[in-house]
Amino acid sequence: MARPAGSSAVSALALQPHMGATPARLAADIVGDSGSASALEKLNQAIGELKQLALQPLLQSAINALNANDLQGASEWALKALGQDERSGVAWYVLAVAREKAGDFAGSITCYEAALKLIPDHAEVANNMGRLAFRIGEQDVAEQLFRIYLARYPNHPEGANNLACALRGQARFDEAVEVLKASLMADPNHAMVWNTLGTVMAEQGDTVNAEIFFNEALRLDPHFAKARYNRGNMRMALGHLEAALEDCETALAETDLPDERIMMRLSRSTILINLGRVGEGWDEYEARLDPNFADVTIFRTGRPAWKPGDDLAGKSLLVIGEQGLGDEILFANTLPDVLERLGPDGRLSLAVEARLVPLFQRSFPRARVGAHLTGKIEGRTHRAAPFLEGELGTIDLWAPLASPLREFRRTPEAFPERAAFLSADPDRVADWKARLAKEAPAGPKVGLLWKSAIISSGRHRYFSPFEQWAPVLGTPGVSFVNLQYGDCAAEIEQARNELGVEIWNPPGIDLKQDLDDVAALSSALDLVIGFSNATLNIAAACGAPTWLISAPGAWTCLGTDRYPWYPQVRLFRPPAFREWEPVMAEIGMELARFAG
């Protein structure tokens, strides 16, 4: 299909790899392919200009192997060339391309560094290094490398796109816009640049301009799959679900790249769930486990994977937590069903985030609970259950924690009216009740959560600014209790100075690390109010009365006007994306009734 040069991997507004409370994020992909036909042709030309004639046939064989996708052969021919001349910058460059295409990102960066030292005027080497640095999260390093490329090719659409992505990833939005505007002033006909500009707008919550820029990208290139996918994600955030699904499915039909298709399938999965087609959505969400997905987590179990319909009675099953901390709690909704299906003779081993082990062990005493271990190997995320070392051979089946949803929660009605599925320590609950009565201000004790500690991936768009909590904090007769983990001293001081409201900070508890005690404190409160983060999920899963403030297009509502995961949760949603004032006023009025 026709599209502007170099636009096959532009920045996209994509789903988070996990299915957490934030439904969308900016995808960590940028422009450029060191193994493309045009890039390899340039390498061919460079080889033809080499003065070391003995290296030419070796490197030509390496290029032929790359064209045939024989990555091992390409590496071996490049190493033979380096054996003859270890100071050949072109040979290091060819080896870097081969290692990158093989997924050895750390080794590839080392090779690119060697190439750049030997051919320092080769701006394309810097661009390739920048792409890899960006991919592994070193966005400040990527920025400097992209600046080298853009200095050599001013306002080049690829260079502008890549530098803007690195700046956007550091929340330097104004600078990203200026880089893209300069490129568009030079040539406004690059759909890639309009699309990237749309993602910068979306990251800041400017949905109107974001959609305008995605539309312009599609006007210039109607077959630009990523721009259509971006627009679909924007439409989902705005609650236009049928249009979002149409965009996503059209984008899927117009791209063949495996990684892009998987991201689009993940987007489609949440749209389907949002439309109430829950079972189809969970089935599609299995795409996250595809090894072709750039953000895949590789679970190191060596055991057969469980699939819907498998008989679990009397079996030994390993379930491993996945995604973020809040997701591990949310997805644990099915664990009582799993234990019931295993029966009295079955065994459940459960690997969760280390801070959750005490809470989960108490909640599921029949299970063996331990901490999972996560690390990076050659740029890929790997997760294991080291507490089962030497015992994995006794495990019959394993599953990531979200996968049982396919079996047990295929409709909103399949979510049980279960008051709680996690159990706080009753002695600690009693202790916190006594301390709250004695030490906190008088009135109903209401815990508050107003932000996420994760500020990347546009997550801040789904949390209101603290100033807009004034109608809630101004409710008379309420004793507000801080449940917010992370640095929140500025907000507590702001409430004190501007509203005359004291948010009581519970002493002797680390709200980020002591999650078992957080569960007890939450259960001791009369009410918890906040946005969806890990602490709110803990409170709700323990059965605490909870008011959840959710974005209008949140997939976790499963196409309903309630929150099926936790039946006691009361849902509050703004009338439109980022219109927080009406919903905060509503919560303030309802809280006054509650306090009364």
Q: Are 69 and 49 in contact (CB under 8 A)?
A: no
Judge whether 362 lies within some domain.
Answer: yes
pLDDT: which is higher, 64 or 8? 64
Q: Write the pLDDT tens digit of every residue in 401-459.
A: 999 999 999 999 999 999 899 999 999 999 999 999 999 999 999 999 987 655 444 44
Of 165, 188, 223, which one is at a domain's C-terminal end?
Answer: 223
Q: Are residues 404 and 435 in the same domain?
A: no
What pLDDT, on the 0 to 100 scale, is given for residue 43?
54
Judge whether 244 lies within some domain.
Answer: no
Cα dihedral across residues 223, 225, 231, 236: positive or negative? positive
DSSP state for residue 317 in the 8-state scheme = E
CA distance 398 to 317: 5
- 299 pairs with which residues across the strands? 383
What pLDDT, on the 0 to 100 scale, is given for residue 61?
87
Of 199, 223, 247, which one is at a domain's C-terminal end?
Answer: 223
Q: Are residues 433 and 383 in the same domain?
A: no
Q: Tell whether the model's pLDDT for residue 103 goes beyond 90.
A: no
In the chain, how many domains are there?
A: 3
What pLDDT, on the 0 to 100 scale, is given for residue 295?
83
What pLDDT, on the 0 to 100 scale, is given for residue 41?
58
Q: Tell whether the model's pLDDT for residue 220 goes beyond 50.
A: yes
> For a pLDDT cut of 70, what percent of the chain falls above it?
88
pLDDT: which is higher, 337 or 92? 337
Among the listed residues 548, 442, 426, 452, the one whose alpha carbon sits nearest the alpha carbon of residue 504: 442
- Whole-angstrom CA distances from 24 to 20, 325, 459 are 9, 17, 8
Average pLDDT over residues 49-65: 75
Q: Are residues 364 and 463 in the same domain?
A: no
Of 205, 223, 241, which one is at a domain's C-terminal end?
Answer: 223
CA distance 350 to 330: 15
Domain of 581, in residue numbers = 426-595
Q: What is the pTM of this model?
A: 0.80
What pLDDT, on the 0 to 100 scale, is given for residue 186?
93
Q: Tell whether the model's pLDDT for residue 296 goes beyond 60.
A: yes
Helix (H, G, I), strand (E, B), or coil: what is residue 487? coil
Judge whether 96 lies within some domain.
Answer: yes
Judge whether 240 lies within some domain.
Answer: no
Q: Tell whether the model's pLDDT for residue 476 goes beyond 80.
A: yes
Domain CATH code at residue 450 = 3.40.50.2000
Q: Are residues 398 and 431 in the same domain?
A: no
- Whole-angstrom CA distances from 504 to 277, 446, 482 are 43, 10, 6
pLDDT: which is higher, 19 or 133? 133
Q: Are residues 405 and 348 in the same domain?
A: yes
Judge whether 274 lies within some domain.
Answer: no
What pLDDT, on the 0 to 100 scale, is given for residue 20?
42
The structure tokens 């997924």 sit at 103
Judge whether 156 lies within some domain.
Answer: yes
Q: Are residues 435 and 373 in the same domain?
A: no
Mean pLDDT of the chain: 86
Judge whether 195 lies within some domain.
Answer: yes
Residue 370 has φ and ψ, to the nearest 5°, of: -145, 175
Least confident of 164-173, 256-265, 446-455: 446-455
Helix axes 426-439, 515-524, angle to 10 degrees: 60
Q: Tell whether the model's pLDDT for residue 151 goes beyond 80.
A: yes
What pLDDT, on the 0 to 100 scale, is given for residue 529?
97
> In what helix (H) or strand (E) does residue 198 lie, and over which residues does it extend?
helix 191-203
Domain CATH code at residue 189 = 1.25.40.10
Q: Are residues 97 and 217 in the same domain?
A: yes
What pLDDT, on the 0 to 100 scale, is given for residue 46?
54
> For a pLDDT cut of 90, what percent of the chain falls above it?
59
Q: Are residues 495 and 400 in the same domain?
A: no
| CA-based radius of gyration for the chain | 26
Per-residue pLDDT band at 44 (split at 50, 70, 90):
low
Among the listed residues 452, 359, 416, the one whose alpha carbon sits nearest the alpha carbon of residue 565: 416
What pLDDT, on the 0 to 100 scale, is given for residue 21?
35
Q: Are residues 406 and 434 in the same domain?
A: no
What pLDDT, on the 0 to 100 scale, is given for residue 40?
52
SS (H, E, C) 420-476: CCCCCCHHHHHHHHHHHHHHCCCCCEEEEECCCCCCCCCHHHHCCCHHHHHHHHCCC
Average pLDDT over residues 334-352: 98
Q: Are residues 30 and 172 in the same domain?
A: yes
> In what helix (H) or strand (E) does residue 116 lie, and over which residues does it extend?
helix 105-118
Question: At residue 468, what is the residue type?
Answer: Q
What pLDDT, on the 0 to 100 scale, is given for residue 347?
97
Least confident of 76-80, 92-96, 430-434: 92-96
CA distance 496 to 502: 5
Tokens representing 235? 């439409």
What pLDDT, on the 0 to 100 scale, is given for residue 360?
98
Judge whether 251 lies within some domain.
Answer: no
What pLDDT, on the 0 to 100 scale, is given for residue 541?
98
Q: Are 125 and 116 in contact (CB under 8 A)?
A: yes
Per-residue pLDDT band at 38 (split at 50, 70, 90):
low
Tokens representing 416? 């049980």
Average pLDDT over residues 87-95: 83
Q: Write the pLDDT tens digit of every residue in 348-381.
A: 999 999 999 999 999 999 999 999 999 988 668 9
- Whole-angstrom CA distances from 181 to 9, 164, 176, 212, 432 are 20, 10, 9, 15, 55
Per-residue pLDDT band at 466 (split at 50, 70, 90):
confident
Q: Are residues 394 and 454 in the same domain?
A: no
Highest-scoring range by mean pLDDT, 133-137, 394-398, 468-472, 548-552: 394-398
Average pLDDT over residues 208-216: 92
Per-residue pLDDT band at 2 (split at 50, 70, 90):
very low
Q: Are residues 443 and 549 in the same domain?
A: yes
CA distance 180 to 238: 25
